[in-house]
Amino acid sequence: MKKILLSVAAMAMFLSAAKAQDKAFKKGDFTASLGAGFGLYGTKVHTEYDQQVFDLATGFRTERYKHDTTDAAASAVFPLLLEYGVTNWLGLGGRFAFSNYTRDSANTAARVHSLDADLLVNVHLIKSKRFDMPLSFYIGYSNLKYITHDNFGSMAKDNGISYGFALVPRIYFGDHIGMFFNVGYAGYNYPSLQFSDNTNANLNELNNWIYSLKGSGANIGIGLVGKF
């Protein structure tokens, strides 16, 4: 009886492994994806700084000014994704992305861009021999720069976080090469942008200026994927 049970267990393991070999993603697979897309985000800016207020009764005094504004932003996004199959349904890796934001209508010479480096987690629950649709999650570091290209060398920069999730359908044309689509949600949080120009490396110090930026919204893209 013991031998029969061992034989059944061995056969089940063999069939499971054989079935996994027929799928577009399995343990031990390494994938690299390069794509292009765009993001549409709703943004929220919080700013606060000290200002001098004059009152006839008390004279000058310092008050803290605080203000929130909402707006929108759009960017072209170019991601590089690397993934390793830890199990037949779980992949871990990294996401690296460059985002180039649309020009400021008030300053067409200005450039805004960001660089992301994220931890990537893919859950592969829907797949066949030539199709794979992981649910992708990522979170990590983002660096934002706003360069005005004016005569004063004005710019702003900050280190923040990037995060998001997406459905990433992959269609393989053979055993190694395919294409993917990306439909997801992405967000950014930059807690304290630092402003500078040719005369001062930290303009925020002049009046204890705090300027934070948050953005989140849709992220859509397409690209090529290779599996090894």
Alpha-carbon gap, residue 206 to 208, rounded angstroms: 6
Closest listed residue to residue 179, CA positions, set 171, 188, 191: 171
Per the CB < 8 A criterion, the answer to whether 190 and 212 are in contact is yes
Mean pLDDT of the chain: 89
Residue 49 to residues 9, 159, 175, 223, Cα–Cα distance (Å) = 69, 20, 58, 44
Listed range (50-64, 140-154, 198-212) with the worst mean pLDDT: 50-64
How crowded is residue 81: how many other Cβ atoms within 10 Å of its Cβ?
Answer: 25
Amino acid (one-letter) located at 85:
G
Alpha-carbon gap, residue 222 to 38, rounded angstroms: 10
Tens digits of per-residue pLDDT, 54-106? 877 777 888 889 999 999 999 999 999 999 999 999 999 999 999 999 866 56
Q: What is the mean pLDDT of residues 155-182?
A: 96
Query: Pseudo-torsion of CA 173, 176, 178, 184, nearest 10°?
Result: 140
Alpha-carbon gap, residue 100 to 143, rounded angstroms: 12
Give the whole-number percent of the chain exceeding pLDDT 70. Answer: 88
Residue 201 lies in a domain: yes
Which token pair is 218?
């849709």
**H or E segment and range at residue 171:** strand 170-172
Distance of CA 181 to the CA centre of its chain: 16
Beta strand 90-101 with 177-190 is unpaired
- Give the pLDDT confidence score for residue 149 in this predicted structure: 84
Residue 158 lies in a domain: yes
Per the CB < 8 A criterion, the answer to whether 140 and 164 are in contact is no
Residue 15 lies in a domain: no
Q: What is the pTM of this model?
A: 0.84
Domain region containing 130: 25-227
Q: How many domains does the chain have?
A: 1
Residue 49 lies in a domain: yes
Residue 222 to residues 24, 119, 172, 188, Cα–Cα distance (Å) = 18, 20, 14, 21
Burial class (CB in 10 A: 0-12, 13-18, 19+), 33: buried
Beta strand 59-85 with 111-123 is unpaired
Residue whose entry in the numeric block shows the structure tokens 């979170």: 139
Domain with residue 159: its CATH number is: 2.40.160.20
Residue 19 lies in a domain: no
Residue 177 lies in a domain: yes
Residue 171 lies in a domain: yes
Residue 141 lies in a domain: yes
